[in-house]
Amino acid sequence: MRQEERNGGCFQKIAIIARLAAQHDDLQPCCTFITMTSTLDDSEKEKARSVSVDLNNDASLLIDIPDALCERDKVKFTVHTKTTLSSFQKPDFSVPRQHEDFIWLHDTLVETEDYAGLIIPPAPPKPDFESPREKMHKLGEGEATMTKEEYTKMKQELEAEYLAVFKKTVQVHEVFLQRLSSHPILSKDRNFQIFLEYDQDLSVRRKNAKETFGSFFKNMVKSADEVIISGIKEVDDFFEQEKTFLLDYSSKIKDSTARAEKMTRSHKNVADDYIHISATLNSLSVDDNTALKKHLEKFADLFEKLRKVEGRVASDEELKLTELLRYYMLDIQAAKDLLYRRARALADYENSNKALDKARLKSKDITQAEEHQQQCLQKFDKLSESGKRELTSFKGRRVVAFRKNLIEMAELEIKHAKNNMALLQGCIELLKSN
Amino acid sequence: MAASSPRNPPPLPGAENQDPLSEMADEDSDEGEDIFVGNSNPVAESFQPDTANGEEPADLFSEEETSTAVNSSITTFKSNGVHSDNENDLFAEVSVELSMENPSTTTKTSGAEFTPSLTLSATQPRSMEQLEEEKDEDSFDMDVAVTNPEKIGDGMNAYMAYKVSTRTTLPMFRNRTFSVWRRFSDFLGLYEKLSVKHSLNGCIIPPPPEKSVVGMTKVKVGKEDSSSADFVERRRAALERYLQRVVCHPSLLQDPDVREFLERDELPRAVGTHTLSGAGFLKMINRASDAVSKLTIKISYSDAWFDNKLQEVESEDLQLRKLHAVVDSLVNHRKELCGNTAVFAKSMAMLGNSEDNTALSRALSQLAEVEDKMETLHQEQAASDFFILAELLADYIRLLGAVRGCFEQRMKTWQRWQEAQSTLQKKREVEAKLLWANKPDKLQQAKEEITEWEGKVTQYERDFDRISVTVRKEFLRFEKEKSKDFKSQIVKYLESLLQSQQRLVMFWEAFLPEAKAIA
């Protein structure tokens, strides 16, 4: 009971912090990536850090998530819209939304035939507080073995981790909406508008049971698609290349994402160990009455500072590398989906051709068959055309995003390492001079 | 009268200090105890505890057989030694005694009784000051190194031999540089010998690294993997530190067993160091009985200084163990990080290969290389964490155990004194009863017994005072050494961290232009 209370309290505190942090960022129109790494410099506000760039530039429809609240398992996002478009009832409004609402929106977009030729932005992943929650649990169990100071520090560190997960999930949901709003076709979608505007609970529009079934079927269809897509004879070089590339890249990036995750988690563990070391060194120095006391104090102090830097390194890596990979892993899946849809359309067209031939042979329903064939061809051409456009711009987007994040990550690594160096040198000099 | 030998740094020509020795060439060494008792009067007056370092006695250890008793000169010492030279010579006596035991006595037990024959009062404030003011003149010109582990033999009888090299200018050694080959049981054997001889004085004897049946078996069986290489390296480093601590200790350095260990080509196999030997078993039993007796000592004698220090030691032990556990966890996490980074680097390389944008593909491959280099960094860092920090802590946990042993030894000495006192009391009561009952012949015996026990009481009291002094001195020396040791290891560790951060910066700075070149 106490544990839950503590958890609840912790969450609330995070919500407040998140609100404050988000308000800070709210001052700017461009997309912001709420990161752990941004020191509170004002200059940092200038830099737009996003896995997906060029969003939220169009002043006619500006979306952001300035606020979010975390209750138990559910996160409530406040989606804020500012628009000059007449299709909306008000120029400036906010609505509360849950994660499930976002999924609903994504799924309806995917199911819309008209958008078959578009890459639908991937749905934001479910908020996952599992890792910090588990850590919090372990911390509660181990409380007795730690000094009060150590426990407080661990708790602080854990709260920071919760905050990081929180910020990440807010950002991911925000980017989803912003990609929609900046897409020429998708931004006009009716359901999107409802999502932004409807001031009541959307759950009535969500088909819960059907949804779970639907997703099951969708996965089945998808695996069938994989067979189709690999089996089909491709007529277009561009798509042939894209297919090969995407299939291969998709599995590699999935692998990389998983590995990157493991790596950053190990990094966090190392940073956490520094906390314990610092605390124990402190206890040692308190009891010590010899010349060693001062040395131990300095050493303990150094570890405390080092762990802050290491913690930043770990979270920067996570944001710039792991999250980048994860986002594009999902995006590539969406691109693959486009290919599947096109492949299905091609298959349909080929089938319609066969049907037409059959009809001609039997001299029955020829016009019907001809019409059907025309429809399929049109659909296929439309998909091919828009698909080509989408995939090309996707490529460009991806390269730009990778470039940006890799540069930023390298710069941050250098910055943190130099920080570490300064701390270490300072301590070494202090110790030697004594 | 003993020559007034000023406190000198170690390399003194041996000839100068021959005089005190020659003066002692009178009496028989084996009568140590009796002589003491006989001369109790002059000796009974409080001596200054010696504050000299071991520097002086070094030169006394010329090869001449000094098999003569030392004790006669004790009688010639003035009590209340105001002159520091007395203390030096006194100390010299102690050491000389020890050396004499070795050739002349075969059993080890006599050594133990021999040493308490000199007593010092522990309670003179002046002596305490001098103890604590003792300048750090431990700059013996002496270096030992343990290197080149080699596997000798095959199968279960195989063992690792280590080269022990010494470089010194101390005249007590035959050469300036020399080396011998030793195996692990030799080191253990050395510890056993030193322990028996010196632990009863309250000396803090550095403990050797632990035995490891699992570790050694792997090596014997010939498992050529990194874990057995690590094990050998760990042991080699630990043996080196062990030896360095032994030779740093002023009284231990004087011990001929140490000299023999460093110099003698072939050392007789140390018995009693097998884990499962008869002697080992005996040791276990002894330790168990010790533990029991510990429980029964009622510490009614309280000396604030000792009590405080013991408490400090106990809490320090707890903290060190905790710290060691955390550092261990750090080492493991870093090793994990290392592994995960390697795997990530590989997957990055594969991703780079399948990337169709050439510049990005190149950048990703470069990233993979950087991460590969990071893996090496992490590995080296984990090794630092372990060999510098974790082993330092492990060493001191063991050393604190030795310190505790000293304190216990002192308590045992106290207990023996108390018991002697109560025995004396009983004898006196017996005497009184006999007097009353008027039995003259039994009375005579009773009187003799009383005299005997009076002597014992006095002796044990002196033992206790002396061991208190030694323990105190040893403890202060230990703390000083510990401070030095910790400080130097901490600095070494931080320097290794610094170096790895510097290389990190280099790697990422090399990568940055690649990332910027993406188009």
pLDDT per residue as tens digits for the range B176-201: 888 888 888 888 988 888 888 887 77
**Which residues from A are below 8 Å from B330, CB to CB?**
270, 273-274, 277
**Which residues from A are below 8 Å from B488, CB to CB?**
none
3-state secondary structure of B121: coil
* pLDDT-based confidence at residue A106 (cuts at 50, 70, 90): very high
Average pLDDT, rounded, for chain B = 73
Q: Which of residues A42 and B166 earns the better pLDDT score?
A: B166
Which residue in chain B has the smallest CA separation from A303? B494
Give the mean pLDDT of A392-402: 91
Q: What percent helix, strand, coil does chain B show, rounded to 5?
A: 70, 5, 25
Condensed to tens digits (0 to 9), the pLDDT of residues B206-260 reads 888 888 777 777 777 766 677 778 888 889 999 999 999 988 888 888 888 888 8
Percent of chain B with pLDDT over 70: 66
Q: Is A135 exposed, middle or buried (0-12, 13-18, 19+ CB in 10 A)?
A: middle
Which residue in chain A has the smallest CA separation from B496? A424
> Among the listed ranges B27-31, B213-217, B234-238, B377-381, which one has the minimum average pLDDT value?
B27-31
Measured CA to CA, the distance from residue B137 to residue A339 in angstroms comes to: 82
- Shortest Cα distance, chain B CAs vs residue A191, angstroms: 36
Measured CA to CA, the distance from residue B415 to residue B461 in angstroms comes to: 10
Interchain CB distance below 8 Å, B356 and A245: yes
| Residue in A257, A268, A260, A258 with CA at minimum distance from that of residue A36 | A268
Quote the DSSP letter at residue B200: G
Q: Which of A248, A289, A431 sits opposite B487 (nearest CB)?
A: A431
Distances (CA, A) of A51 to A33, A301, A333: 8, 36, 16
Taking only residues 228 to 257 of chain A, the set having a beta carbon closer than 8 angstroms to any beta carbon of chain B reads 241, 245, 248-249, 252-253, 255-256
The pLDDT of residue A232 is 67
* pLDDT-based confidence at residue B352 (cuts at 50, 70, 90): very high
Phi, psi (degrees; rounded to nearest 5) at B49: -65, 150
The pLDDT of residue A310 is 92
> CA-based Rg of chain A, rounded to a whole angstrom?
27
- Shortest Cα distance, chain A CAs vs residue B324, angstroms: 9
- The string of DSSP letters for A10-72 reads HHHHHHHHHHHHHHHHTT-SS-----SS--S-SHHHHS---SS-S-S--TTEEEEEEEEEEET
Q: Is this model's pTM higher than 0.90 or not? A: no
Contact by Cβ (8 Å): B364, B355: yes
What sign for the dihedral angle of Cα A238, A239, A242, A244?
Answer: negative
Give the mean pLDDT of B71-88: 37
3-state secondary structure of B164: strand
Say which residue the tokens 């990081």 belong to.
Answer: A164
Contact by Cβ (8 Å): B199, B408: no
Say which residue the tokens 């270490």 belong to.
Answer: A424
Condensed to tens digits (0 to 9), the pLDDT of residues B491-514 reads 999 999 999 999 999 999 999 998
- Shortest Cα distance, chain B CAs vs residue A152, angstroms: 17
Contact by Cβ (8 Å): A380, A351: no
Measured CA to CA, the distance from residue B469 to residue B466 in angstroms comes to: 5
The pLDDT of residue A225 is 63
The encoded tokens of residue B385 equal: 């964490």
The pLDDT of residue B269 is 77
Measured CA to CA, the distance from residue B60 to residue B10 in angstroms comes to: 10
| Residue in B152, B121, B294 with CA at minimum distance from that of residue B220 | B152
- Shortest Cα distance, chain B CAs vs residue A334, angstroms: 17
- Shortest Cα distance, chain B CAs vs residue A306, angstroms: 11
- The string of DSSP letters for A309-338 reads HHHHHHHHHIIIIIHHHHHHHHHHHHHHHH
**Which residues from A are below 8 Å from B483, CB to CB?**
290-292, 295
- In three-state form (DSSP H/G/I as H, E/B as E, the rest C), the secondary structure along B262-303 is HHCCCCCCCCCCCCCCHHHHHHHHHHHHHHHHHHHCCCCCCC
- Provide the ipTM: 0.81
Interchain CB distance below 8 Å, A403 and B515: yes
End-to-end CA gap in chain A: 50
- Shortest Cα distance, chain A CAs vs residue B512, angstroms: 6
> Among the listed ranges A195-204, A378-387, B314-323, B479-488, which one has the minimum average pLDDT value?
A195-204
Condensed to tens digits (0 to 9), the pLDDT of residues A250-297 reads 999 999 999 999 999 999 999 999 999 999 999 888 888 888 888 899
For residue B249, give every residue at least 6 positions away whose Cβ sits within 8 Å of its Cβ, in sequence order, or none: B54, B203, B204, B205, B206, B477
The pLDDT of residue A171 is 86
**Which residues from A are below 8 Å from B494, CB to CB?**
302, 424, 427-428, 431
Interchain CB distance below 8 Å, B326 and A256: no
> What is the residue type of A273?
D
Q: For residue B113, is pLDDT > 70?
A: no
The pLDDT of residue A120 is 92
Q: For residue A419, is pLDDT > 50?
A: yes
Q: Which of B330, B351, B360 sits opposite A399 (nearest CB)?
A: B360
Q: Which of A241, A265, A291 sits opposite B483 (nearest CB)?
A: A291
* pLDDT-based confidence at residue A324 (cuts at 50, 70, 90): very high
* pLDDT-based confidence at residue B130 (cuts at 50, 70, 90): very low
Condensed to tens digits (0 to 9), the pLDDT of residues B135-177 reads 444 455 788 889 888 888 877 788 888 989 888 888 888 888 8
The pLDDT of residue B271 is 66
Q: Which of B343, B356, B497 sits opposite A259 (nearest CB)?
A: B343
